[in-house]
Structure 1
Amino acid sequence: MGKLLSKSTSNNDRYSSMPHHTGVTPSQSTVESDTFRQFEQVHSDAVNSVSAISPGVCLSGSKDKSVLLYDYNTGVVQQVWNGHDKEVTKVAYNNDLHTVFSASRDKTVKLWQANQISPVKTLTGHELVVTALSLNSDNTRLCTGSRDNSLRLWDIHTGSCTLQNAITRNLVTDIKWGKNSHQLVSSSEDKEVRIWDSRTLQVSHSFPRKQYIQTSCDISDDLNYCISSSNGFGGNGCETTLWDMRTLSIVHEYQGHGETVGSCIFMPSIANRNLVATTSNDCSIRVWDRDSAKCLCYCVIPGSGPLTSVSSYPDGRLAVGSFNLGVHIFDFHCGAGGTFSLERKAQY
């Protein structure tokens, strides 16, 4: 069980840490509450990836080579899996089979199950670090991407690679599989966002190349939109782009982060608003109105280092991974008069 620590932060400390280049007025911005549940950090190094599993439970993968399932309501580590030779880059969870998936710099993907120390399967074939993974809706196939320029499709039950495709300079950074769909979206260090047909693993469309490396991507449940986030520095780049998958064009740019945007997701709709969440190397998490591109609220975590990953629960609660300060849990609130807030509830 994690040790519960006390935490309070003065208003002066919090506001002095907030970015001033964004143009977001104070009424639209939010900082953390004075108190939150702070447990002893369970990872000994940077958290590279988080996945919201069920209310109160989060899966995380770390540079310390471990994969960990944690109950942040009680501060209990439910299970730790060790077995990768190098850092874990991405994690995912299969709800039907209760199986955990982890990608690593050791070029493998491992499948884990509860109450088992050793991996159920180890998927090998990528020639460089595996940087991305995503499951299809019926949890039968897994798509992985790598810095070896390739995507691979795997049969989860047999562990065999059924399809693969490599494109020159396609150093994959992220993959998302469309809900109940054959469509996949990928982002890449070649600055492109691509739509793939999973039946053939061929590219069906490439969006216009961006100015900066694309670091993350997501696809909306209705398959109408995808988003991608950009590398950058000093406010240049550092945006998230909303793409229309029907017209194959840019709809909006979400601009306000001051450094690389490391992750972006579509959140569940709340109060009839379509939402997007982003995290950045500028130590902030932001929630945006998808359709107006307005930043509804944001929170800065002083000392966190880059915020590496974000995942959403059905009620809008967010899990965020950080480079220095472990995993953070936020509640997103829609208040009276159309006010919005982010409140940090836990850290471990």
Structure 2
Amino acid sequence: MGKFQSKVKRNSSKYRADSHVEESAPVQSPQQHNRAHSDAVTYIAALKSDLCVSGGKDKVVVVSNWRTGTALKRFVGHDREVTKITCVFGSNRIFSASRDKSVLLWDLHCKAGSVQKFVGHHLIVTGLAVSPDCTKLVSGSRDNTLCKWDVESGQCLLKAAVSRNLVTHLCWVPGESCIVQTSEDKITRVWDTRNLQVAHTFPVKQHIQMHCDVSEDGNYCLTSSNGFSGQGCEATLWDLRQTKNIVCEYKGHLQSTASCIFLPRGMSDAPLVATTSSDCTVKVWQRDTAACLCSLFLDGSGPLSSLAVCDNTSILCASFSSGIHSLHIDCSEGVTLKQVAKF
């Protein structure tokens, strides 16, 4: 995805939540496990109910039991840092993108190297989306192109280019043959994967769009923006059924908002979303009102790079300086976040 545009200053108190939001008390002693990665963790995704998969600057893809903080598999094959991870929840297949311009397919139960390699981009691969049946893969790159791949053969079926479309993230729309894509040109696009053509573009934002996610019902899309000193740094909710106007914006981060996700409906009566930022905070928002319900500051973590949902009470957060954080979310009386472990 390229570098984060803003560095976190050492005076971490600057990045605490806004005064009108009561910040969750920092956990004094989260359980510390062996680190999954030897360097910054760039992306994390949920693989199964108790497994997550992460990629890092150490060029390694790691499968961990997030409940115990134990690394179960370490896949080595990329020549440069891993930029993105994608998988279909419940499957055994893992896709990883890298600065080495390639995408690799790994099998959870395969002891050898990668199962398949997808080569065709000319620059760093920064976006991955896989179809629900794991047969089709779409990758995006800073070379302004998207490629559609047949997973079994590794063959590139289609390739499309849009000028200045430096891809930052891709996300498959559940139940549809479409993907959502964010870009450094500040535009969010919806692509039809059948012909790899742009089906719709959302109104241009004022800042680079860093990440995107789609709700489980396929009706809504979230995107997040870069920025600094509170300018930009927001997440944006779009309605995929009426693709003209912004539904609402979530403002409160002080540095680039690197990741945004929808939380499962089972967590709360009201729909929730979560964001994480280079300002070292994770925030949970009421989806429809954009009210910030809680904010957790992860001291010493460095920029936070990615979020993943594990179950109805747990979120994982990847960081540059302190590995992967396991967070517990409690919606019984209001909404609170608590750090329980690091690995």
For 1:251-290, list aligned pairs within 5 A: 251-269=247-265, 270-290=267-287
CA distance in structure 2 between the aligned counterparts of 1:138 and 1:37, rounded to whole angstroms: 37
**Residue correspondences, number:** 329
For 1:15-26, list aligned pairs within 5 A: 17=13, 19=15, 22-26=18-22
CA distance in structure 2 between the aligned counterparts of 1:233 and 1:140, rounded to whole angstroms: 40
Task: Name the SS of the counterpart of 1:328 in structure 2.
Answer: strand
CA distance in structure 1 between the aligned counterparts of 2:97 and 2:166, rounded to whole angstroms: 15
Q: CA deviation at 1:75?
A: 3.5
Structure 2 match to 1:40? 34
Structure 2 match to 1:296? 293
Q: CA deviation at 1:21?
A: 6.4
Q: CA deviation at 1:148?
A: 0.6
Unaligned ranges ≥5, structure 1: 1-15
Structure 1 match to 2:8? none
Unaligned ranges ≥5, structure 2: 1-11
Is contact 2:175–2:218 with CA below 8 Å preserved after alignment?
no
Alignment partner of 1:320 is 2:317: yes
Structure 1 match to 2:50? 56
For 1:1-348, list aligned pairs within 5 A: 17=13, 19=15, 22-26=18-22, 29-95=23-89, 97-113=91-107, 114-248=109-243, 249-269=245-265, 270-336=267-333, 339-348=334-343
Q: CA deviation at 1:223?
A: 1.9
Structure 2 match to 1:4? none
Task: Name the SS of the counterpart of 2:47 in structure 1.
Answer: strand
Task: Name the SS of the counterpart of 2:271 in structure 1.
Answer: strand
CA distance in structure 1 between the aligned counterparts of 2:213 and 2:91, rounded to whole angstroms: 23
- Deviation track 1:181-237 (CA, whole Å, cap 9, x = no partner) reads 112100000000011111111111111111110000111122221111001000000
Q: CA deviation at 1:144?
A: 0.7
State the TM-score, normalizing by the size of structure 2: 0.92
Is contact 1:268–1:316 with CA below 8 Å preserved after alignment?
no
State the TM-score, normalizing by the size of structure 1: 0.91
Is contact 1:267–1:316 with CA below 8 Å preserved after alignment?
no
Is contact 1:191–1:213 with CA below 8 Å preserved after alignment?
yes
CA distance in structure 2 between the aligned counterparts of 1:78 and 1:62, rounded to whole angstroms: 16
Q: CA deviation at 1:96?
A: 6.2
Is contact 1:72–1:346 with CA below 8 Å preserved after alignment?
no
Is contact 1:89–1:102 with CA below 8 Å preserved after alignment?
yes
- Deviation track 1:46-80 (CA, whole Å, cap 9, x = no partner) reads 10000112233221000010000112333422110
CA distance in structure 2 between the aligned counterparts of 1:41 and 1:20, rounded to whole angstroms: 26
CA distance in structure 2 between the aligned counterparts of 1:261 and 1:95, rounded to whole angstroms: 24
CA RMSD of aligned residues (A): 1.6
Alignment-mate amino acid for residue 250 of structure 1: I
Is contact 1:82–1:117 with CA below 8 Å preserved after alignment?
no
Task: Name the SS of the counterpart of 1:91 in structure 2.
Answer: strand
Is contact 1:91–1:133 with CA below 8 Å preserved after alignment?
yes
Q: CA deviation at 1:18?
A: 7.0
Alignment-mate amino acid for residue 163 of structure 1: L
Task: Name the SS of the counterpart of 2:289 in structure 1.
Answer: coil
Alignment-mate amino acid for residue 74 of structure 2: V
CA distance in structure 2 between the aligned counterparts of 1:253 and 1:25, rounded to whole angstroms: 17
CA distance in structure 2 between the aligned counterparts of 1:117 and 1:304, rounded to whole angstroms: 33
Is contact 2:316–2:326 with CA below 8 Å preserved after alignment?
yes
